[in-house]
């Protein structure tokens, strides 16, 4: 059993003293252990912990200082939380929480250190190698300049009139950021893709599409950006612009490995009916991972959307299949520039789903819907089944059914989802559904529909003070409607806007209930 890879993050203080003594006394430290000395375990984020697994580690150990002895106060406490979150994520991933361990030490606990390391190593050997085989870096195209010229032609950016309508409507520019889509298009046409404008701006765009709706030359800005990001070179990479240390991209890249066996639906309530032989597959999306990742931050709960979507399918007599080993659709990889791994993931999904014999996939996630229905075919990945958004299913069923709504009470407003707004077949559906129960309690925000302000982040890239300002502006707009809650149509809107509500400067002033449309429908729909 050679080439096992175990990463040991060893805190510089107590654990290091214990470890050094092991070395001094020539203890037989397992050869598989790669020790990395760090200043404090509390600084090893979930992104770093998971990065090791993404790169093929079979196990990761954190050795910190005993509670109360952390030199920086809260290090051990943070490490405990990060470890717990990472372990739970490893469980859903199917890697197993036991591959990640945290132990705390006093400087003289040499034996304990030895025990810890040897037990961990032997336990890992019993578990076997990780199913993640080898690191998948994002490869760079040979001649980025050449490809960018092609992209500009494809999206007809040469037709730009330099009118500036895009910049004057861009929510990011309007929130004060020194960012100009017009200038970006101009620099792209000039062809110097290493220019400062491009380097900086290509990763700032939220790909929300407001400018596309305004542009007289119909330059499809979001897709232009998506393509250009995939063709940037190392020196203008967006790696440092990824939010949360690139954790989510790591997670998604890990799913490109065919051997992983996730356990996504373990906590599904018993009263929800599914059927493995169904011709209809419900695709949940990555909300369960997000929920764990953010549970100590602002208590995001988006798994309820998945459960409620399934309840609604059951309500209308559909007993769908769910896939325990469901993979991410790849949306965030595609939009954050990692086209190669997006394609790997998409091809894997294509094979698994096309071979599964389903007729239809239903999803409640705008990104999954868009990616399966539009971006897969646009990238040559054809699926042999129908892709349906839950809202299409619901509108169709409710329209012909004797159902009614016993609520909700209170007033509400709606946060548009940029991914749904970009699709003609779906963009009107959320409001159509809302109208079915609204009965005069619905109020639009100042900017809505084609001009709606987005939630301030996209594909886990470029979250900064300006996206925060944008989010705060949006919440103020919602508050102005005097609504009791804001209805969302995308789990990410709920995450990012919920995050902004934690703003320490504004205190509780931004607090407002965020509820997903699927949840409201599921809670209030009933038979006549």
Partner 1 sequence: MVKQPTQSKQEIIITGFGGQGIVLAGRILGMAAALKDDKESTLVQSYGPESRGGACCAQVVISDDAIQYPYITTPDVLVCMSQAAYLKYYKSVTPEGFLLTDKDLVKPVSDRDCFSIPSTRMAEELGRKMMANIIMIGFTTAITQLVSKKAAEYAVTSSVPKGTEEMNTKAFNKGYDYGKSLLKGRAQKASGKKRANA
Q: Which stretch binds ligand SF4 (CB under 6 A): 127-135, 155-163, 307-315, 331-339?
A: 155-163
CB of 309 to partner 1, least distance (A): 10
Q: Which is nearer to partner 1, 24 or 271 (CB)?
A: 271
Contact track, partner 1, 276-315, x by CB under 8 A = --------------------------------x--xx-xx
Q: What HEC string does 155-221 produce?
A: CCHHHCCCCCHHHHHCHHHHCCCCCCHHHHHHHHHHCCCCCHHHHHHCCCCCCCCHHHHHCCCCCCH
Q: What are the tokens at 167?
A: 């910049």
272 in contact with partner 1 (CB under 8 A): no
Contact track, partner 1, 397-426, x by CB under 8 A = ---xxxx-----------------------
528 in contact with partner 1 (CB under 8 A): yes
Q: Look-up: residue for tokens 């007033």?
A: 411
241 in contact with ligand SF4 (CB under 6 A): no
1 in contact with partner 1 (CB under 8 A): no
What's the rounded Cα separation, in Å, for the pair 114 and 127? 20
Helices vs. strands in the chain: H and E counts, helices first: 24, 12
What's the rounded Cα separation, in Å, for the pair 255 and 1? 25
Q: At 515, which helix (H) or strand (E)?
A: strand 513-516
What's the rounded Cα separation, in Å, for the pair 5 and 61? 11
Q: Under DSSP, is residue 120 helix (H, G, I), strand (E, B) or coil?
A: helix
What's the rounded Cα separation, in Å, for the pair 56 and 132? 5
170 in contact with ligand SF4 (CB under 6 A): yes
Q: Which is nearer to ligand SF4, 110 or 169 (CB)?
A: 169
Q: What are the tokens at 433?
A: 């559904």
Which residues on neighbouring strands pair with residue 442, listed in sequence order? Answer: 412
Q: Which is nearer to partner 1, 234 or 400 (CB)?
A: 400
Contacted by 210, from partner 1, ligand SF4, none: CB < 5 to 8 Å by type: ligand SF4
Q: Which is nearer to partner 1, 72 or 316 (CB)?
A: 316
Contacted by 42, from ligand SF4, partner 1, none: CB < 5 to 8 Å by type: none
Q: What are the tokens at 108?
A: 């003289």
Q: Which is nearer to partner 1, 274 or 481 (CB)?
A: 274
Q: Which is nearer to partner 1, 60 or 312 (CB)?
A: 312
Contacted by 217, from partner 1, ligand SF4, none: CB < 5 to 8 Å by type: ligand SF4
CB of 255 to ligand SF4, least distance (A): 20
Q: Which position among 31, 153, 161, 526 is part of the footprint of ligand SF4 (CB under 6 A)?
A: 161
Q: Which is nearer to ligand SF4, 21 or 165 (CB)?
A: 165
What's the rounded Cα separation, in Å, for the pair 242 and 233? 16
Q: Which is nearer to ligand SF4, 59 or 498 (CB)?
A: 498
Q: Is 348 left (phi over 0), alpha (psi -120 to 50) or beta?
A: alpha
- In the chain, % helix, strand, coil (3-state, to 5) comes to 50, 10, 40
188 in contact with ligand SF4 (CB under 6 A): no
What's the rounded Cα separation, in Å, for the pair 311 and 498? 25
Q: Which position among 93, 188, 210, 521 is part of the footprint of ligand SF4 (CB under 6 A)?
A: 210
216 in contact with ligand SF4 (CB under 6 A): yes
Contacted by 378, from ligand SF4, partner 1, none: CB < 5 to 8 Å by type: none
Within 233-338, residue ranges assigned H as helices are 247-254, 287-293, 303-315, 331-335
- Is residue 369 within 8 A of residue 426, CB to CB? The reply is yes
Q: What are the tokens at 112?
A: 């304990």
Q: What order do you get walking across the sheet with 59-65 strand by strand?
A: 33-38, 6-11, 59-65, 100-105
Contact track, partner 1, 228-267, x by CB under 8 A = ----------------------------------------
Q: Which position among 10, 205, 358, 510 is part of the footprint of ligand SF4 (CB under 6 A)?
A: 205
Contacted by 527, from ligand SF4, partner 1, none: CB < 5 to 8 Å by type: partner 1
User: Residues of 298-326 as b/e, b for ≥16 C-beta within 10 angstroms?
Assistant: eebbbbbbbbbbbbbbbbeebebbbbeeb
462 in contact with ligand SF4 (CB under 6 A): no
Half-sphere exposure of 131 toward its Cβ, with a 13 Å CA cutoff?
15
# residues contacting ligand SF4 (CB under 6 A): 35
Catalog residues that contact ligand SF4 under the rule CB under 6 A: 160-166, 170-172, 181-182, 185, 205-211, 214-217, 219, 221-222, 243-244, 456-457, 463, 495-496, 499
Catalog residues that contact partner 1 under the rule CB under 8 A: 271, 308, 311-312, 314-315, 317, 400-403, 521-523, 525-528
């Amino acid at each position: 059993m050679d080439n096992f890879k175990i990463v040991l993050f060893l805190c510089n203080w107590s654990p290091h003293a214990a470890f050094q003594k092991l070395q001094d006394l020539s203890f037989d430290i397992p050869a598989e252990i790669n020790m990395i000395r760090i200043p404090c375990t509390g600084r090893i984020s979930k992104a770093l912990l998971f990065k090791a697994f993404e790169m093929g580690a079979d196990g990761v150990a954190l050795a910190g200082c005993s509670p109360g002895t952390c030199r920086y106060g809260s290090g051990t406490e943070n490490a405990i939380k990060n470890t717990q979150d990472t372990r739970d994520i490893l469980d859903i991933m199917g890697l197993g929480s036991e591959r990640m361990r945290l132990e705390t030490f006093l400087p003289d606990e040499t034996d304990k250190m030895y025990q810890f390391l040897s037990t961990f190593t032997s336990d890992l050997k019993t578990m076997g190698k990780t199913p993640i085989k080898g690191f998948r870096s994002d490869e760079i195209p040979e001649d980025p300049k050449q490809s960018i010229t092609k992209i500009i032609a494809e999206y007809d950016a040469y037709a730009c009139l330099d009118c500036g309508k895009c910049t004057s409507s861009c929510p990011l520019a309007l929130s004060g950021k020194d960012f100009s889509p017009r200038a970006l298009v101009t620099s792209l046409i000039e062809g110097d893709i290493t220019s400062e404008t491009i380097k900086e701006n290509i990763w700032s765009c939220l790909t929300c599409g407001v400018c596309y709706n305004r542009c007289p030359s119909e330059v499809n800005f979001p897709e232009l950006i998506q393509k250009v990001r995939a063709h940037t070179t190392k020196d203008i990479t967006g790696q440092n612009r990824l939010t949360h240390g690139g954790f989510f991209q790591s997670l998604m890249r890990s799913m490109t490995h065919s051997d992983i066996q996730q356990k996504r639906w373990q906590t599904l309530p018993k009263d929800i009916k599914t059927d493995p032989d169904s011709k209809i597959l419900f695709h949940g999306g990555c909300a369960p991972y997000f929920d764990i990742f953010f549970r100590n931050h602002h208590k995001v709960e988006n798994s309820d959307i998945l459960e409620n979507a399934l309840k609604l399918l059951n309500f209308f007599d559909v007993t769908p299949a769910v896939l325990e080993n469901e993979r991410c659709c790849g949306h965030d990889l595609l939009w954050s520039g990692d086209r190669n791994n997006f394609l790997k993931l998409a091809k894997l999904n294509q094979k698994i789903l096309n071979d599964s014999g389903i007729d239809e996939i239903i999803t409640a996630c705008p990104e999954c819907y868009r990616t399966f229905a539009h971006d897969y075919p646009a990238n040559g990945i054809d699926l042999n089944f129908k892709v349906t958004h839950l809202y299409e299913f619901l509108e169709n069923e409710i329209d012909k059914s004797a159902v009614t709504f016993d609520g909700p009470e209170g007033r509400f407003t709606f946060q548009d989802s940029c991914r749904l707004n970009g699709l003609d077949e779906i963009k009107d559906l959320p409001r159509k559904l809302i109208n079915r129960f609204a009965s005069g309690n619905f109020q639009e925000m100042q900017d809505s529909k084609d001009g709606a302000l987005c939630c301030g982040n996209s594909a886990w890239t470029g979250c900064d003070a300006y996206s925060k300002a944008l989010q705060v502006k949006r919440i103020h707009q919602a508050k102005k409607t005097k609504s009791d809650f804001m209805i969302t149509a995308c789990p990410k809107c709920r995450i990012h806007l919920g995050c902004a509500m934690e703003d320490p400067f504004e205190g509780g002033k931004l607090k407002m209930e965020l509820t997903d449309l699927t949840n409201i429908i599921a809670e209030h729909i009933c038979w006549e």
